[in-house]
């Protein structure tokens, strides 16, 4: 059974906390990664919201600020257009935020 944490104070400090960008509404790729890797996801932004134009700089800033322990972003590259991957990678990197691949994460 996976451990649960009721609040951010008891959450382990050695687990990366990411924002997930891309994928479907129910975020199956982020769930798969979270169950196989030593990682947690805060906010998840599905591709359809990006395609609708609903994801602004302000939304991204809020997602970072409102994700306790946030320290990186995961891009679901297979579900995003190449131009979207490039945009988000540049957006986060210019702000000093690490873009993480599943290969960068430790297995459970």
- Any idea what the CATH number is for the domain that residue 51 is in? 3.40.50.10700
Those residues with Cβ within 8 angstroms of residue 91's Cβ, 6 or more apart along the chain or in another chain: 57, 60
pLDDT at 31: 94
Task: Answer whether residue 40 is part of any domain.
Answer: yes
pLDDT at 5: 55
Domain that holds residue 76: 20-102
Structural domain count of the chain: 1
Do 11 and 39 form a contact (C-beta atoms < 8 A)?
no
Task: Answer whether residue 10 is part of any domain.
Answer: no
Task: Answer whether residue 13 is part of any domain.
Answer: no
Task: Answer whether residue 6 is part of any domain.
Answer: no
* Phi then psi dihedrals of residue 99, to 5 deg: -95, 120
Task: Answer whether residue 9 is part of any domain.
Answer: no
pLDDT at 26: 87
Task: Answer whether residue 14 is part of any domain.
Answer: no
Mean pLDDT by runs of 10 across the 108 residues of the chain is 57 87 92 95 96 97 95 96 98 98 94
Task: Answer whether residue 1 is part of any domain.
Answer: no
Q: Is the pTM of this model over 0.85?
A: yes
CA distance 69 to 83: 28
Q: Can you give the three-state secondary structure of 32-66, one letter per residue?
A: HHHHHECCEEEEEECHHHHHCCCCCHHHHHHHHHC
Task: Answer whether residue 69 is part of any domain.
Answer: yes
pLDDT at 52: 97
pLDDT at 25: 87
């Amino acid at each position: 059974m996976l451990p649960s944490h009721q609040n951010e104070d008891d959450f382990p400090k050695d687990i990366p906390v990411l924002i997930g960008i891309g994928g479907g509404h129910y975020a199956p790729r982020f769930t798969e990664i979270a169950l196989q890797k030593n990682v947690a996801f805060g906010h998840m932004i599905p591709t359809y919201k990006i395609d609708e134009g609903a994801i602004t700089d302000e939304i991204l800033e809020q997602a970072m600020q409102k994700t306790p322990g946030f320290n990186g972003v995961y891009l679901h590259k297979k579900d995003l257009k190449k131009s979207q991957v490039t945009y988000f990678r540049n957006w986060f990197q210019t702000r000093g935020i690490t873009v993480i691949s599943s290969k960068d994460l430790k297995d459970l």
